Structure 1
Amino acid sequence: MGRYNPLLHGHLRISLSLRKPNLFWVSAAAPLTSVILSTILVFLLRNKVHKIAIIGELPKGVNPPSSNMLYFSGPYLALAIKTGLVTGILSLTEGIAVGRTFATIKNYQVDGNKEMMAIGLMNIAGSCSSCYVTSGSFSRSAVNYNAGAQTTVSNIIMASAVLVTLLFLMPLFYYTPNLVLASIIITAVIGLIDYQAAYKLWKVDKLDCLACLCSFFGVLFISVPLGLGIAVAISVIKILLHVSRPNTRVLGNIPGTLIFRNVNQYREALRIPSFLILAVESPIYFANSTYLQERILRWVREEEERIEANKENTLKCIILDMTGTSVHVPLELQTVTAIDTNGMDTVSELRKILEKRSLQFVLANPVGNVMEKLHQANILDSFGLKGVYLTVAEAVADISSSFKPQP
C-alpha cells in the first residue's frame, strides 16, 4: 500500500472547491467519506494488515451525572481552586484565540465577555455531568469551517450528531485508522497557517514574532495550553518592558511653523538654541518614574556636552553667548495621559535638581487629569506662573523673550 499524504488530500479538496464552487459539497463530505471508506477498508483487510493503528474499542453512552460528587470542603479544596483558576485562564485564552482566528477570516467581531460567560456556563454544566474541562476546539472549529458552516446551527447539528454517535454508533469506529483522523485535522488546520503574517511580524516587531513562534511550536510539540501560556508570558514581558522603559525623545522645531517633532525622525526639525525639549511617550508612575528621572538628567548632560563640544562653531557660540550657560528644559506632556504620586514626586525632584544647576524646568501641555493631580499635590505652586504652558511653542516664545542679549 502507498503512503497516504494528508497534505495532498487537503490540496485536492481545496483546489476542487475553488475551481468548481458548485461542488463545494464534495469538500464538505470528504472527511466523513474518508472515515467511512478507511474504516471499511481496514475491516476488510484486518487479517492481512496488522501494523495500522486503529481506534479500538470505545465505550458508548453519555457520561453519568456527577453533581453528587461535587465537594466544597476537604484537604484538596485549595489545590482545586488554584488549578481551576489556571485552567480557566488557559481555557478562556484558548477559546478567545480560536474565536479571533476565525473572526479575522470571516470578518466578524468576538465579544470577550460573552466568550467568558459561555465557557464558564459550559464548564459549570460539564462539571455536573462528568465532563472534562472544555474550551473552544481549534481542530473541530477548523473542520467545521472547511465544511462550509455559516451559522451556529451547524453547532447544534454537530452536537446532535455527536450525541447520536455516543449513544449508538461508537462500536462502528473500532477499525477506524488513527492516520485518517490525523489527516482530517491536518488538512483543516494547514490552511490557517499564515506564513506571510509571521514574516511581517519579524520585520515589524521581533518580540511579537517570538511570541508567535513560541505559541506555534509550543502548541505543535507540547500542548495548546502550554503554548498559549508561553505566548502570553512573552507578551506580558514585552508590556512590562515598554511600561518600565518608555520612550523619551528630543523635539525640534520645523522651520516656518510652530510644530515640534522628533529630531531623529524629522531631518528638517531643528533644535532650538538654549532649549532642550523633551517628550515622554508614556504615563508617569511608579514603574517608570525612576528610569524617567535618570533618562531626563542624562539628556541634560548630553545636551550640555554637545553644546560644549560645538562652542567653536560660529553660529552656536553666538547663540550660547547670548544666553550664557543656561539651558531651558520644557517637558512636553501631551502624551503623558496619567500620573501617580511617584510620578509627581519625580517631576518635583527634577525641578529641584535642575534649579540647583541653574536650569529652568517648565511643563508644556499637560492633560486635564495630570494638571488636576499636580494642582492637588501643590506641585504647580512650586513651578509658578512661568512654569506651565499650553504648548511648546508658547513656552519657547515666552522664555525666549526674557533672554537679555549681551553687549
Structure 2
Amino acid sequence: MPSLRQYFPILDWGRTYNRLALSNDLIAAVIVTIMLIPQSLAYALLAGLPPEAGIYASIAPILLYTIFGTSRALAVGPVAVVSLLTASALGQVAEQGTAGYAVAALTLALLSGGFLVLMGVFRLGFLANFLSHPVIAGFITASGILIATSQLKHILGVSAHGHTLPEMIASIFAHLNAVNWITLMIGTTATAFLFWVRKNLKASLLKLGASRLVADILTKAGPVAAVVATTVAVWAFGLADRGVKIVGEVPQSLPPLTLPGFSPDLLSTLLVPGILISIIGFVESVSVAQTLAAKKRQRIDPDQELIGLGAANLGAAFTGGFPVTGGFSRSVVNFDAGAETPAAGAYTALGLAIAALFLTPLVYFLPNATLAATIIVAVLSLVDLSILKKTWGYSRADFTAVAATIILTLSLGVEVGVASGVAVSVLLHLYKTSRPHVAEVGLVPETQHFRNIHRHKVKTDPTLVTLRVDESLYFVNARFLEDLIQKRVTNGCDVMNVVLMFSAVNEVDYSALESLEAINLRLRDMQVGLHLSEVKGPVMDRLSRSHFLDELNGEVFLSQFDAWRQLAKSPRSASE
C-alpha cells in the first residue's frame, strides 16, 4: 500500500479526516468560492475564451488535484500568467471567438497535462531548477505589466490589440478617440474600489469590531461586490445599449465533456508553448505549495505535484477548460481561511458547480470593464520592480538576467520571455561554474583549519601551494583550473608541491579527469608534486576506477592538516 498512497495521497490524509477538518475545509471553501467566481470569469477573458471556460477550468481540475496532489492548501485553477501565456499561444493558431480557438485551448491543456504527468512519472521535477528565482521574478513582473496593460482596452472600451508592450501602447493610443466614457467610468471606479478593498477594508472592519473571520470573508468578497454593483448599474440604466460591453449569455450547465484537437499541425504548433506553460505553472505552483507547507511543518512531493497538476490539466482538456496551475492568491486565501486538507478544494469545486448551474444568468449584464479591473488589481501585486535594485546590489550577473528577462518579455512577448529566461538561467549557471572560486589557503595559527590567505592571517610555505576548489569540476570549468595552476606555479621557482583541497568537490567528470591528468603530467615535468586532500568518498570511488591515482606523482591525504605536516618545509606567517 505505500506505493499506492504515494500516487494517491488522498489515501493518506483521507484516513485521518475528521469533523474538525470538515468544518475548517468548508469555511475555507466558502471564502475561496466567493473569490473564485469573478476571478475565473476574468481569467477566461484574459485567455481570450468565453467566461464559462474559467468556471469549467476550476471544477474538474480541482477535483483531480484533490486526489493526486500532495499540498493541503494549494488551490488549483486559472491564474493570470498562465492565462496570458495561453492567449499568446492560441493567437498563433486561431482567432478569438472561433471554435478553433476553443479547441486549441483544450489541446494546449492536454499537452501541458501530458507533459507534467510524464515529468512526474519519470521524477523529473528537478528540471524546474533550470529557471533561477531572479529570472522567474523578472518574468512574473514583466507578465504582470503586460497583463495590466492588456486590460486597459476593456477599461477604455476600445478594441486595441497586441502581444508586446510597445504594440499594446501604440494600439491603445491609436484608439483613444473611440473611448467609451461610460465604460471608462465603470472601469476606473471598479479598479479604485478594488484597490481600496485590498488595502483598507479589512483593517477598517477590524477597527469597527468585526471578527477576523467576518473581515476576511467581506474583504475576499470585494470583487463580488464590484460585480454586483456594476452589473445592476448596467441593467438598471440600459448601459449595454450605450456601448458598454458586457459578458452576455453564459451557459447554465455543468462542465461539458469535450475533446481536444489531435491534428498533427495543431499539436506541433502548440507543443513548445505547452511545455513552457507546464514549466512556468509548475514552478509557480510548487513554490507556493512549499511555502505554505513549511508554515505547518508539512512537506510536499514535487514529483507527485507534477502528476497532480498534470491530472488537473488533463481534466481541463476534457471538460471545456484551458491550462491551469496552483494560484498564489487563492492558495494563500485558502490557507489563511483554515483549509486543513485538499478536500477544501473539492468543496470549492462543488460551490463553483452550483454557481455554474444556478448563478450564471445573473452575470449577463456584467461589464467586461469590471472583470478587467479584477485582473488589473490582482496582477499588479505580482509586479516587483524592486528585484532590479536588489539584484544590482547583490550580484551584477543576476541583475543582468533579471533585466534581460523583463526587457525581452515586454518587448518581444511572453513566449520569448519564458524561453529567454530559461536560456539566461542556464547560461548564468554555466558562466558562474565556468569560473569556480579557487582560494589559496594557509594554516590558521594554533589550529588545524585552513583559510584564504588574502582574507586571514595564516601560515604559508613558499614551497607549498594549497588550492581549495569550491566547485565540482566538469567540462565547463576544467580548463580554468589548469590555467590557474600553471600561472601560480610559474610565478616563482620555489614551489615543490601543489595540493588540491577537494573538500567542496562533489563531482569530477571525464573532461575534468583529463585536465587533472594533464596537470599531473605538467607538474611532473616541472618536478613539482601534485597531491589531493579531503577527497569525498564518491569522488574517490570515481577516481579509483581510472589510472589517475596510479600515475599521480604525489599522495592523497585524508586531511589538509596531514598534507601540511608532511609537505611544509619552512612555514611562515603570510604577512611576513
Q: TM-score range by the shorter chain?
A: 0.7 to 0.9
Alpha carbons of 1:158 and 1:181: their partners in 2 closer, same or farther (altered >3 Å)?
farther
Alpha carbons of 1:185 and 1:90: their partners in 2 closer, same or farther (altered >3 Å)?
same
Which amino acid is the alignment partner of residue 10 of structure 1? R
Aligned to 2:3: none
- Counterpart secondary structure, 2:253: coil
Task: Give distance in 1, aligned partners of 2:344 and 2:229.
Answer: 24
Identify the match of residue 201 of structure 2 among 13, 27, 45: 13
Which amino acid is the alignment partner of residue 291 of structure 1? F
Task: Give distance in 1, aligned partners of 2:242 and 2:513.
Answer: 76
Alpha carbons of 1:297 and 1:203: their partners in 2 closer, same or farther (altered >3 Å)?
same
Task: Give distance in 1, aligned partners of 2:333 and 2:548.
Answer: 62
**How many Å apart are 1:368 and its aligned residue?**
1.6
For 1:269-320, what per-residue CA distance to the aligned partner results, in whole angstroms no more than 9, with x for missing partners?
343222221111112222321222122222334x42xxxxxxxxxxxxxxxx
Task: Give distance in 1, aligned partners of 2:372 and 2:218.
Answer: 19
Aligned to 2:312: 122
Task: Give distance in 2, aligned partners of 1:337 and 1:46.
Answer: 71
**Considering only CA atoms, is the larger Rg found in Structure 1 or Structure 2?**
1
- Counterpart secondary structure, 2:439: strand
Contact 1:279 1:332 in 2 (8 A): yes
Matched, 1:391 2:565: no
- Counterpart secondary structure, 2:563: helix
Aligned length: 378
Identify the match of residue 363 of structure 2 among 173, 194, 205: 173
- Counterpart secondary structure, 2:564: helix
Aligned to 2:257: 65
Contact 1:57 1:174 in 2 (8 A): yes
Alpha carbons of 1:376 and 1:21: their partners in 2 closer, same or farther (altered >3 Å)?
farther
After the TM superposition, which of the residue ranges 78-87 and 125-134 deviates more from structure 2?
78-87
Task: Give distance in 1, aligned partners of 2:409 and 2:325.
Answer: 15
Aligned to 1:381: 550
Identify the match of residue 50 of structure 1 among 235, 242, 245: 242
- Counterpart secondary structure, 2:326: coil
**How many Å apart are 1:153 and its aligned residue?**
4.4
Aligned to 2:470: 281
After the TM superposition, which of the residue ranges 87-96 and 47-56 deviates more from structure 2?
47-56
Compute the RMSD of aligned alpha carbons: 3.8
**How many Å apart are 1:353 and its aligned residue?**
0.8
After the TM superposition, which of the residue ranges 47-56 and 86-95 deviates more from structure 2?
47-56
Aligned to 1:111: 301
Aligned to 1:134: 324
Which amino acid is the alignment partner of residue 132 of structure 1? F
**How many Å apart are 1:261 and its aligned residue?**
0.5
Alpha carbons of 1:326 and 1:114: their partners in 2 closer, same or farther (altered >3 Å)?
closer
Matched, 1:372 2:547: no
1:5-404 aligned within 5 A = 5=192, 6-16=194-204, 19=207, 20=209, 22=211, 23-24=214-215, 25-47=217-239, 50=242, 52-67=244-259, 71=262, 84-100=274-290, 109-138=299-328, 140-141=330-331, 148=337, 150-151=339-340, 152-188=342-378, 200-209=390-399, 229-264=419-454, 266-301=455-490, 303-304=491-492, 325-383=494-552, 386-400=554-568
Unaligned runs of at least 5 residues, structure 1: 305-323
TM-score, L = length of structure 2:
0.56
Contact 1:142 1:189 in 2 (8 A): no
- Counterpart secondary structure, 1:331: strand
Task: Give distance in 2, aligned partners of 1:224 and 1:13.
Answer: 34
Task: Give distance in 2, aligned partners of 1:145 and 1:223.
Answer: 33
Aligned to 1:311: none
Aligned to 2:4: none
- Counterpart secondary structure, 1:276: strand
Contact 2:463 2:569 in 1 (8 A): no
Task: Give distance in 1, aligned partners of 2:334 and 2:238.
Answer: 31
**How many Å apart are 1:370 and its aligned residue?**
2.1
**How many Å apart are 1:333 and its aligned residue?**
1.2
Task: Give distance in 2, aligned partners of 1:188 and 1:207.
Answer: 30
**How many Å apart are 1:11 and its aligned residue?**
1.5
Task: Give distance in 2, aligned partners of 1:161 and 1:218.
Answer: 40
Task: Give distance in 1, aligned partners of 2:318 and 2:385.
Answer: 42
Alpha carbons of 1:70 and 1:189: their partners in 2 closer, same or farther (altered >3 Å)?
closer
Alpha carbons of 1:368 and 1:394: their partners in 2 closer, same or farther (altered >3 Å)?
same
TM-score, L = length of structure 1:
0.77
**How many Å apart are 1:248 and its aligned residue?**
1.1
Task: Give distance in 2, aligned partners of 1:387 and 1:298.
Answer: 22
Contact 1:328 1:360 in 2 (8 A): yes
**How many Å apart are 1:198 and its aligned residue?**
6.7
- Counterpart secondary structure, 2:448: coil
Bigger relative contact order, structure 1 or 2 (CA pairs below 8 A, ≥6 apart): 2
Task: Give distance in 2, aligned partners of 1:106 and 1:224.
Answer: 35
- Counterpart secondary structure, 2:481: helix
